[in-house]
Structure 1
Amino acid sequence: MLLIGIFVALVFVYGLVSRRLEGGYLTAPMLFTLAGMLVAFLLTPGLVMESGGQAFLTVAELTLVLLLFTDASHTNLRELRRDGMLSVRLLTTGMLLTIVLGGVFAWWLFPSLGLWYAAIVGAILAPTDAGLGQVIVNSPAVPERVRESLNVEAGLNDGLSVPFLLFFIALTGMQGFEASGMLLEYIIEQLGYGAVIGLLVGGVGGLLLASFSRLGWLAEDGEQMAILSLPIMALLVSEMVEASMFIAAFVAGLALQWRFRPASREDRFYGLLGEWLSHSVFFLFGLIALTALQSLEWRYVAYGLLSLTLIRIGPVLLALAGTALTMRQRLFMGWFGPRGLASIVLGLVFLEQHGQGEGVELVSQLVVVTVWLSVMLHGASASSGIRWLNRG
């Protein structure tokens, strides 16, 4: 209860000064991560993972599902249809190269990891974070095609990473030839089923909302509650059939606005709930990050910085080659691929699936250090990065 009380008090204090912090160098994820680290220093480091690792995973998954659904429901479908190939490039060439480079550099810097554990690091740190990128995707100063491409990339790449992660986890315990066809099976189950679930939940839900709205039966508060139930429904159905809840949530958000336009375009209820949960995840992350950061070697920091720069920016530049985007816009999109909620969730999934064993602790430390660096560096550079983009 003590940790809950501290967190709730922090949320209240943040609310009091939130306007003052807007556009500055201290973002909400930075604030709650640092607060969590301070609490861990004063109390018991690692308390959360020792007493409630499964609860942490559940909260993190729910948070990401709500944020992905919210972002998708605000995606400009007209802009997406026009410039959708930018997102496709990022989600194919860009993402696959990011996983490969992430694994190669992890294996190079940490030979003891072995090939498959290094590949696991690459898969966990490949997806970008919709939550950390809110400053970018919500800023009217960023060109809409850049914003929407980054938003769609962040919405889908976490779900795309899951089959690779599960595949690499399986390969750590078997010979390569025994896993023949496993990756394709994971992709079909995770992505195909996830997309179908999202289309059905969002499409049918939107159709029913539109029908009852025309009948005059739908109050605005009731509309908000009904909409909030859709991502939760997508999550639960995905869990039942072992599909990607993240793909399902994002596709459900897209399908909803295809069939129904909410009376309240602010969607404040579930938007604020997602933000509140996001703050809790970064607070919990700060609690466990302190232990990992206390035993740092230069190689951990080196890998984290490589992950945020060369491993991310190189594939993005290659994926966007030949497009109408300026070099400044491509570099901007390369840098602003923050690692946050998605990598935290995938890291927790790895721990849940793999338990203990050689390489597990090293993988966990690399993920924690990289996410921590991303929270700090991307948060501090968001406002100045937007100004830099508009100077071009």
Structure 2
Amino acid sequence: MTSEIEIFVIAFTALLFLSGLVSGKISGTVVTAPMIFVAAGMLLSPEGLDLVSLSSSSILILSIAELALVLTLFSDASKIELQALMREDKLPGRLLIIGTPLTIAFGAIVAAFLLKDITLAEAGLIGAMLSPTDAGLGQAIVNNTKVPAKIRQALNVESGLNDGGAIPFFLFFLILEGGEALKWPAGTLIVLAFEQIGIGVLVGAVIGLAGGLLSGKAVRIGWMSGLYRKIGFMSLAIISWLVADLLGGSGFIAAFTGGLITTQAAGKIKATEEEAILTEAEGSILSFAVFFIFGIIAATRIFTINWPIFIYAVLSLTLIRMIPVAISLIGMRLHTKTVLFLGWFGPRGLASVVLLLTAMEETGGIGGSETVSLAVITTVFLSVFVQGATAGPGSEWYARIIAGLPADALERKKVEESLTSPDNMTVKNLSNNSEGR
């Protein structure tokens, strides 16, 4: 390892240990773990104490970030029961099928109007990169049983699947941006986009089906323990990612598709406590690493933010998400403040950061413009600190609103069936609570 990488690893692992020491103390406060890692990255960056220095094009950065997203995509997709997704009054399905595309479109339109020095393809990239949500930044909501299970579950399922839904749009605009620079015909760009998406889906489906059938059979006949089944699933995620990449497809789409197929093929197998702990631990470590990296990168750009960028970031976290959410929920007879709550708590985090790093690597700086990266960095930065800090107080405010609604209100309707497989103990347990207690 180079000295730069060694220093990064030492700094991150030391921070990981120290944050663990105070994890119980900060629990229940407005301070979240992502805040700590972003702030630490900024403090240790060349703009701060100059102890850790990493280029945004570093192979280490991109590898860690992509691995984090690949495992997240596969894991989240593998926890979803597709047959139940469209039930529960279609709330998660509406947020995903209607809300996500509209958020991308609104984000692109506002970016093209407000940020004058970007192309239409770059505006689309901004919209796509900032559409995925990260429930980890609003963990206080997910853990607050006073918030109805239906609402918590909708936010969790949306966060688990909308990054996978945003990636095809991201790929299309990324290819369009690169093709415009090379003056490729539009038909060639469309074929290339569908080729990457198609290969990714095919690879993910084949590996997911084969891996799911084999692991499910091995568990049922007693050859494979639950813990190693989870390790096997992690392996399938990485295999899907790398094989698709080698064949010219999208590794992210392959990982997401593989996750969807694997659990369906394996069948319902009860997860052990060790599996749940392993999944949560590896996911948290990689996520924290990405936020630490984000802090280092953000520190070098945060002081170059201008008013159009800042205004766009504020709009991205508010109207650009809230309006699509409101449109997607038309006719559901939800309370106005429920729609506002769902619209506000769509924090941007890991997926947006990884997609930005990928775009910067693929296009060599996204057409030479810093505007796209600044828009994403500013939005994620505000989201980590503002939405993270308001998650706890906001969930308590919403719980008081719900307490005053009639007993037959849709928000208080008991969630009869989990949208997730038995592997996801945390989210599944949400369905065991009716309205908050």
Same fold (TM over 0.5): yes
How far apart are 1:69 and its partner, in Å?
Answer: 2.4
1:102-117 aligned within 5 A: 102-117=107-122
Provide TM-score, normalisation by structure 1. 0.88
TM-score (norm 2): 0.80
Q: Give 1:306's aligned residue.
A: 315
Structure 1 unaligned regions, length at least 5: none
Residue 65 (structure 2) aligns with: 60
The residue aligned with 1:234 is: 240
Distance 1:84 1:253 in 2: 25
Q: Does 1:218 align with 2:227?
A: no
2:200 paired with 1:194: yes
Q: Distance in 1 between the 2:144 and 2:80 partners?
A: 13
CA RMSD, aligned part only? 2.8
Residue among 367, 385, 392 paired with 1:383: 392
Mind listing any 5+ residue stretches in structure 2 that lack a counterpart? 1-5, 403-437
What residue identity is the alignment partner of 1:182? L
Residues 244-263 of structure 1 aligned to structure 2 (within 5 Å): 244-258=250-264, 259-260=266-267, 261-263=269-271
Counterpart among 287, 291, 307 of residue 282 in structure 1:
291
CA distance in 2 between counterparts of 1:152 and 1:28 reads: 19
Partner Cα distance (1:120, 1:46) in 2: 29
In the TM superposition, residue 10 of structure 1 has moved relative to its aligned partner by 0.8
- State the distance in 2 between where 1:275 and 1:242 align: 30
What secondary structure sits across from 1:353 in the alignment? helix
**Residue 329 of structure 2: which of 320, 325, 329 is its match?**
320
Q: Deviation string for 1:276-332 (max 9, x for gaps)?
A: 011111001101101211122222211110111111111121122123544333222
Residues in 1 aligned to 2:16 and 2:199: alpha-carbon distance in whole angstroms: 37
* Contact preservation (8 Å) 1:87, 1:152: no
- The aligned residue for residue 106 of structure 2 is 101
Contact (CA 8 Å) 1:293, 1:369: kept in 2 or not?
yes
Match among 344, 347, 350 for residue 338 of structure 1: 347
Distance 1:149 1:222 in 2: 25
Asked if the contact 2:115/2:309 (under 8 Å) is kept, the reply is no
Deviation of 1:246 (Å):
3.0
Letter matched to residue 208 of structure 1: L
Partners of 1:124 and 1:189 in 2: CA distance: 18
Summarize the alignment of residues 1-392 of structure 1 with structure 2, pairs less than 5 Å apart. Answer: 1-40=6-45, 41-44=47-50, 47-49=53-55, 53-75=58-80, 77=82, 79-83=84-88, 85-129=90-134, 131-137=136-142, 140=145, 141-144=147-150, 145-173=153-181, 178-180=185-187, 182-183=189-190, 185-187=192-194, 189-190=196-197, 192-258=198-264, 259-260=266-267, 261-264=269-272, 266-356=275-365, 360-390=369-399, 391-392=401-402
Between Structure 1 and Structure 2, how many residues are aligned? 389
Contact 2:125–2:170 (Cα < 8 Å) also in 1: no
Asked whether the equivalents of residues 131 and 278 of structure 1 are also in contact (C-alpha less than 8 Å), the reply is no
Compute the displacement of 1:338 (Å).
1.6
Partners in 1 of 2:287 and 2:366 — Cα distance?
A: 30
Q: Give yes or no for contact 1:347–1:364 (8 Å, CA) kept in 2.
A: yes
Give the partner amino acid of 1:254. Answer: L
Equivalent AA in structure 1 for residue 206 of structure 2: L
1:135–1:168 CA distance, 2 compared to 1 (3 A)? farther
Distance 1:78 1:310, change over 3 A: same
Alpha-carbon separation, structure 2, partners of 1:38 and 1:130: 25
- Tell me which moved more, 136-145 or 351-360: 136-145
Note if contact 1:137-1:151 (Cα within 8 Å) is conserved in structure 2. Answer: no
Does the 8 A contact of 1:316 with 1:330 survive in 2? yes
1: CA distance between counterparts of 2:78 and 2:313? 32
